[in-house]
Amino acid sequence: MRKTDWWKNAVVYQIYPKSFQDSNSDGIGDLKGIINRLDYLKRLGINVIWLCPVYQSPMDDGGYDISDYYHINPMFGSDEDMDELIQKADKMGIKILMDLVVNHTSDEHEWFQKALKDPDSKYADYYIFKETADGNPPNNWRSYFGEPAWTKIEGTNRFYLHEFSKKQPDLNWENQSLREEIYRMVNYWLDKGLAGFRIDAIGNIKKRLEFKTFQPDGEDGLRYIGDWVLNQPGIEIFLQELTEKTFRPHNSMTVAEANVPEELLNLFIGDLGFFSMVFDFSYTDIDVPATGEWFRPKAFTPEELKKTIFESQRMVQEKGWGALYLENHDQNRSVNKYIPEKDIGYHSKTMLASLFFFLRGTPFIYQGQEIGMENIRMDSIEDYDDIATRGQYKRAVNAGFDKKTAFDIVAKRSRDNSRTPMQWDSGKNAGFSNAEHTWLKVNPNYKDINAADQEFSDSVLKFYRKLIHLRRDSKYSNIIINGEFLPYETEDPCVIAYQRIILNERLLVIHNFQNIKSYIRIPGKNTEAVIGNYTGNYHQSNTCQELYQLSPYECIALYLNT
């Protein structure tokens, strides 16, 4: 049994280090920059930071291509800076999670370099190599970033497998000595006082290798790789071993980036599950087809969003505990995804905040979400750094989209939308850096959207602070953290309402997901308004307000004690 599920009380803040705060004026965020901003995070009220990868890396995929697991990328600072961050944060009551990327390494990792040099070395079996007689790839799988998943080693008929970029060769988890190397590395970090990990692509570590030409599913003659590498039978053996040899003895918080089907959820997050929680992609990828082709976006309605969120809550609640999020470094900004452009503003932003924050699970806020940062629109595809954006653009053009349309669609969904520098104030580079050029453009809207200006009333930032305070340290904390989730039926499909219940206490959270008025029936007596984004609309009262009129994009949480 787990000792204590301390992470249930946590509110996590995700930092994309390259874009959070630059301390040495090179246009790139760094660890000292994060240390300098700990006060801001403390004041926000969060108590856990998830740090995207800061290990040594050629940065082909934003650091998810690690060339040395034991050392910090000089771009972000030194190994000592990392120790300092862990210690200083700890003193302030903030724990740190790092990103654990063990489905693949960088091709510049010494294991891969040794494997290339000597096909008979033990390192050759740390990866997945396949030689073919005719020099053609072993099969026609398409990697997640759009290129073929096998890359040929020059001058040979030998290929290696990579589910992501060709600079990210997949590790071979079947090899026991590789697994032991991984466990040693994980324990090295945990022993330093790290609270745990967000674990990258962990559902992909078991592969079902088949060598033949599959029926293509795209104009490129390739076939989406997911069906052979996601949640494959046998993965549970690796995950069990990983957790027993590393996380469990440390009582770590572990968040698996793994879209787990319902029938496997118990193994992942049940009482004796491998992880503390998993990220569910269903409502953040609601606009993306199952094959991950953003360039063919899927339309959806607030009603579909409601169903998807409720279904996710039901599944997770039956089995264990969940991670709540609307944004991360792989998503575009949530307001641009869920809200029509003309309606984006204080009310829609705070409504989204309330929508995910009162659900059952541990909330994750992505940097800039708490000030309502929005998508950026860059001028041309060359301005985008993200490898996935470039891949999707290329595929869209190959599929027959004209360049302008391809660009428009891809720009809207680009991962760089959330990777632009944090907007701290209205000064140079939004207070992110003193450099002449930042590594990625600052969103030109920083004069209107920045943290410093939001110290005034009715700001998105203040709303987030209040939400965090309510969850972590208020008379409602118990119900917000531990209450059972229950959908609340509404007549208007665009009103999303749900309840959290403990014994005779009830929290009813209501969201009017549209720019017109609506109404809702309020049950029970003795209602108390906990938080809302139209101050004064709801009259705190001891009587049951049968029909409550909702303003456009209004959210309100009511506490009922019956």
Binding site for ligand NOJ (CB under 6 A): 61-62, 64, 101, 164, 200-201, 257, 329-330
Short-list 504, 544, 510, CA closest to 527: 544
Based on CB atoms, which residue is closest to ligand NOJ, 239 or 508?
239
Q: Note if 257 is an active site residue.
A: yes
Based on CB atoms, which residue is closest to ligand NOJ, 164 or 295?
164
Q: How far apart are the first and last CA of the chain?
A: 35
Q: Note if 147 is an active site residue.
A: no
Based on CB atoms, which residue is closest to ligand NOJ, 201 or 309?
201
Based on CB atoms, which residue is closest to ligand NOJ, 251 or 259?
259
Q: Kindly state the smallest distance separating residue 168's Cβ from ligand NOJ, in Å.
A: 7
Q: Kindly state the smallest distance separating residue 65's Cβ from ligand NOJ, in Å.
A: 7
Based on CB atoms, which residue is closest to ligand NOJ, 62 or 146?
62
CA dist., res. 325 & res. 154, Å (int): 42
Short-list 218, 260, 277, 265, CA closest to 5: 277
Buried b (16+ CB within 10 A) or exposed e, 280-313: bbebbbbbbeeebbbbeeeeeebeebbbbbbebb
Based on CB atoms, which residue is closest to ligand NOJ, 109 or 471?
109
Buried b (16+ CB within 10 A) or exposed e, 376-411: bebeebeebbbbbbbbbbbbbbeeebeeeebbebbb
Q: Kindly state the smallest distance separating residue 393's Cβ from ligand NOJ, in Å.
A: 16
Longest CA pairwise span in the chain (Å):
80
Separation in Å, CA 561 to CA 85, 522, 537, 544: 43, 13, 21, 12
Catalytic residue, from 22, 81, 257, 370: name it: 257
CA dist., res. 358 & res. 352, Å (int): 11
CA dist., res. 443 & res. 449, Å (int): 9
Based on CB atoms, which residue is closest to ligand NOJ, 352 or 388?
388
Q: Kindly state the smallest distance separating residue 55's Cβ from ligand NOJ, in Å.
A: 12
Exposed (0-12), middle (13-18) or buried (19+): which is 154, by Cβ within 10 Å? exposed
Backbone angles phi, psi at 430, to 5 degrees: 60, 25
Catalytic residue, from 60, 163, 200, 280: name it: 200
Separation in Å, CA 249 to CA 77, 242, 320: 30, 11, 20
Q: Kindly state the smallest distance separating residue 494's Cβ from ligand NOJ, in Å.
A: 31
CA dist., res. 32 & res. 35, Å (int): 5
Residues with Cβ < 8 Å from 318, sequence gap 6 or more?
265
CA dist., res. 492 & res. 262, Å (int): 29
Q: What is the DSSP string of 189-209?
A: HHHTT--EEEEETGGGSS---
> Which residues carry out catalysis?
200, 257
